[in-house]
Structure 1
Amino acid sequence: MNPNKTLWEKGDFTRIAETMRESGTLLVSKLGITKDMDVLDLGCGDGTTAIPEAKLGANVLGVDIARNLVEAGNIRSKKEGLANCIFKEGDATDLNELKDESFDLVVSIFGAMFAPKPFDVAKEMVRVTRKGGRIVMGNWIPGDPTLVAQILKISSAYTPPPPEGFISPMLWGVEEHVTERFVNAGIPKENILFERDTFTFNASYAPQEFLHNFKNYYGPTMNAFEAAEKNGNALQLEQELQTLFNSRNQSTAANSTVIPATFLRVTVTC
């Protein structure tokens, strides 16, 4: 079994994705999507950005390694009546079913960054993008003080060391590494642009319940709690994360969570 597939089929990421819809739609509105544009949404989850892309008239293919998320995406697309948006299983490191230069735009928001073999991921994204087309990635930034980078940092402290040869997905949030990967895939350095952007998690419940969803439905955090349970450190992990969630919450309402998270937006012109 592919360990990356196992990780993202664990739990139910749709519980987290529900808090990301508004920011997903806002981000898509900035991408210059036009009617009949061919868009690949890679590591699409259940369609947080793919569905807004389709609503703007693009022909959207969502690809994700997790079968449960692909199924959830197709259900959402059908409910929205979007015949121009379909979801399929696939691996960002090897998009063998997709032809060269098939898409005007390739989007991957907190998706392809978690795939292994980052140089292969960059090559595949470049390969399937048409000349003059674009790739847009959203990647979490290592050491960033905002929510997700800190969740992953805290969780990693409670899990066993990764296997030999493991490359941290957080390196997709470092400009030098991103540049190296796309230059290796044949992209001129001057065609790679970076900017800091913000994704806001909005939930109609308290931060404690938001943490509950990460603990029970988000693969990396689930693994951290399983490891912490074995070592008798689960309560410590939960307290550390609860402090994080409470301190980052910007909502003043009792049963509401609003937490911004900074990410690196990468735009590549092919």
Structure 2
Amino acid sequence: MSVLTVNPNKALWEKGDFTRLAETMRDSGEELVRQLGIGPGMKVLDLGCGDGTTALPAARAGADVLGVDIAANLVAAGNARARAAGLMQLRFEEGDASALHGVADQSFDLVLSMFGAMFAPRPFDTASEMVRVTRPGGRIVMGNWIPGDPTLIASILGICASYLPKPAPGFVSPVSWGLKENVQERFQAAGILPEAITCQRSSYTFRYPGSPAAFLALFREYYGPTMNAFEAARGQGREAELQEKLAALFDAQNRGGPTRTEVSATYLRVTVQC
């Protein structure tokens, strides 16, 4: 009898409903598209695209966009948003950023991944695949959360990790993509010269029309890493402790007032010239 294996990364991102969190990221996605100068005639690949926080504004700017995500529910949500917006030049497909089967060599002017490809397994393969599908003269742009950073998402991931079981042998932390030396090593192994790789700290803003406690509830109920942490904490009798730590974090980070949440999170923006 064959045994069905489950891709843990796929299971993680299909577990909740990231679209509920993505709604709080739309403004920053649109601003990023403007900053990158995406426009008509460009071919763009958005890896770990979710339901299209950057893919939709890129398509609205005139680009021909393919969104790829590991989670079938997010791909379906992205295609529904594209249809509703009448964006015929935008499509979403299920796939793994570390093994882009069916994506042709040198086929995109811009390969973009905001907090997506960093979660794919085998980071050296992920870097190699991004380089492979980018045309000569094109760009790769990544946004990666930074380990140990005190702002929201890195802090959430750090807190949650302390409640989760020990990772399996060979596991590479997604936030290792937030360290410049790792970025350099991975893209140089894919044939990129050191001077073609730049890293800078930038920020992404989450905006939610409710209190920090209500915003935290979204993470608890719909964000895979937080959901897993609460399940583990419950089994340890530490659920209330985890809730208290995260509530204090959300309150401290909020700049929107008691009835509205606005939080900026620092990330490492990586630009690779191919």
TM-score using structure 2 length: 0.97
Question: Quick check: 1:54 aligned with 2:37?
Answer: no
Question: For 1:87-102, what aligned pairs fall within 5 Å after superposition?
Answer: 87-102=92-107
The alignment of Structure 1 onto Structure 2 pairs a total of residues equal to: 269
| DSSP 3-state at the match of 1:152 | helix
| DSSP 3-state at the match of 2:24 | coil
Query: Runs ≥4 in structure 1, deviation > 4 angstroms?
Result: none
d(CA) in 2 for partners of 1:67, 1:152: 23
Question: Quick check: 1:239 aligned with 2:266?
Answer: no
Q: CA RMSD in A?
A: 0.6
The aligned counterpart of 2:10 is: 5
d(CA) in 2 for partners of 1:166, 1:202: 32
d(CA) in 2 for partners of 1:96, 1:87: 14
Deviation at 1:36, TM superposition (A): 1.7
The aligned counterpart of 1:85 is: 90
The aligned counterpart of 1:203 is: 208
Question: For 1:246-261, what aligned pairs fall within 5 Å after superposition?
Answer: 246-252=251-257, 254-261=258-265
- Partner amino acid for 1:66? A
d(CA) in 1 for partners of 2:34, 2:201: 17
Match for residue 163 of structure 1 among 163, 168, 174: 168
Deviation at 1:34, TM superposition (A): 2.1
- Partner amino acid for 1:225? F
- Unmatched segments (≥5 aa) in structure 1: none
The aligned counterpart of 1:183 is: 188
Deviation at 1:229, TM superposition (A): 0.4
d(CA) in 2 for partners of 1:196, 1:27: 14
TM-score using structure 1 length: 0.99
Question: Quick check: 1:22 aligned with 2:27?
Answer: yes
Match for residue 113 of structure 1 among 98, 118, 121: 118
The aligned counterpart of 1:226 is: 231
- Partner amino acid for 1:80? A
d(CA) in 2 for partners of 1:98, 1:132: 18
Post-superposition Cα deviations, 1:107-159, rounded to whole Å, max 9, x if no partner, equal: 00000000110000000000000000000000000011100000000000011
The aligned counterpart of 1:103 is: 108
Deviation at 1:28, TM superposition (A): 1.1
d(CA) in 1 for partners of 2:219, 2:23: 12
The aligned counterpart of 1:192 is: 197
d(CA) in 2 for partners of 1:166, 1:43: 19
Identity %: 60
d(CA) in 1 for partners of 2:211, 2:113: 29
The aligned counterpart of 1:70 is: 75
